[in-house]
Amino acid sequence: MHDLIRDISGFVFAEDTLTEADLIVAVGSTYPDIPMKAADLYHNDYAKQILVTGKYSYQCECFPGVSYDTDVYAGAYDTEARFYTAVLMKNGVPLDAVLREDEARCPKENALYTRLLLERMELEPQRMIVVCPAYQSRRFQMLFQAAFPDSEVLMRPSVLPGSQRYLSRDNWYTSRFGIRQVLDELVKCGQELSPAEIERICTDKEHLFDER
C-alpha cells in the first residue's frame, strides 16, 4: 500500500480498542447495521445504555425509509432515532436501556444535541463508545470530543457489506466514489471544528501554539 493511502486511511478510519463505557451512542442513518452493532456491544456488556441520535438529513423533508433489510425492519418511522430504537428492540435491547434524541440533522448536531440531552438528564459520561459509518469515524470522534471535552470518546466504526456508502480502510481507494467520499471527509474534518474547539480538547494546550 502506498504511504499516502496508508496515512489517509489511518487518519480517516478511526477505531479504538474498546473497554467498558458509560454509554454507547449510535449516530443516525437509514441503515440498520449501526444499531445492530450497538446492540452487540450492549449484549457484550460494554455499556448499560444506548443513546440513538438523529432526525433525518437536511437534504430530506422527512425520514426517507429504511435502506437495507426492509423486510426485517418494516414499519413507519418518522425519525432515524425511532428507526434505530425499533432495530435495537428487535435485537434484544430493552426499551428502558435506550435514550433517544430526535432532532439532529447533521453530524455536528448529533454531537451537540446528544450533549444537550444528557445535560437535561444530568448525566455525565466519563467514557462513551460512538458507533458510526467507518469512513466518517474520525469526524464523529472530533465532533463528539469537542462536545464532551472531559469524556473519553472511543470509536467503533461500522461497515455494511454490499453497500458502496459504507467504505472501509481496505477498499475506499479502489473506486472513484470511495476516493471522493474519503477526500471529502478530510475537508470536513478541517471545516467543522473551530480553532477554539480544537484548543479546548487538546490535552497539552501550552505547547499547541507558539504565542511569541
Classify residue 5 as exposed, middle or buried by CB count within 10 Å of its CB (0-12, 13-18, 19+): middle
How confident is the model over 22-45, as a mean pLDDT? 95
* 63-91 residues labelled b (16+ CB within 10 A) or e (exposed): beebebeeeebeeebebbbbbbbbbbebb
Of the chain, the percentage scoring pLDDT greater than 70 comes to 88
Q: Does residue 154 or residue 202 have the better pLDDT? A: 154
Coil, helix or strand for 84? helix
pLDDT at 206: 42
Cβ distance 139 to 189 under 8 Å? yes
How confident is the model over 116-134, as a mean pLDDT? 95
Residue 195 pLDDT more than 90? no
Of the chain, the percentage scoring pLDDT greater than 90 comes to 66
Query: Using one digit for the tens of pLDDT, what is the confidence trace for 9-24?
Result: 999 999 999 999 999 9
Band (72; pLDDT cuts 50, 70, 90): confident
Architecture of the domain delimited by 3-207: 3-Layer(aba) Sandwich (3.40)
Domain limits, the chain: 3-207
Cβ distance 154 to 51 under 8 Å? no
Coil, helix or strand for 133? strand
Residue 44 pLDDT more than 80? yes
- Neighbouring-strand partners of residue 100: 52
Angle value at C-alpha 31, between 75 and 134, nearest 5 degrees: 165
CA-CA distance, 14 to 71, in Å (whole number)?
Answer: 32
Query: Using one digit for the tens of pLDDT, what is the confidence trace for 129-180?
Result: 999 999 999 999 999 999 999 999 999 998 766 555 578 888 899 989 899 9
Between 72-76, 96-100, 109-113, 176-180, the lowest mean confidence (pLDDT) is in 72-76
**Between the ranges 10-14, 67-71, 72-76, where is the mean pLDDT highest?**
10-14
Annotate 65-81 with DSSP letters as a single string: --SS-TTTS-S--SSHH
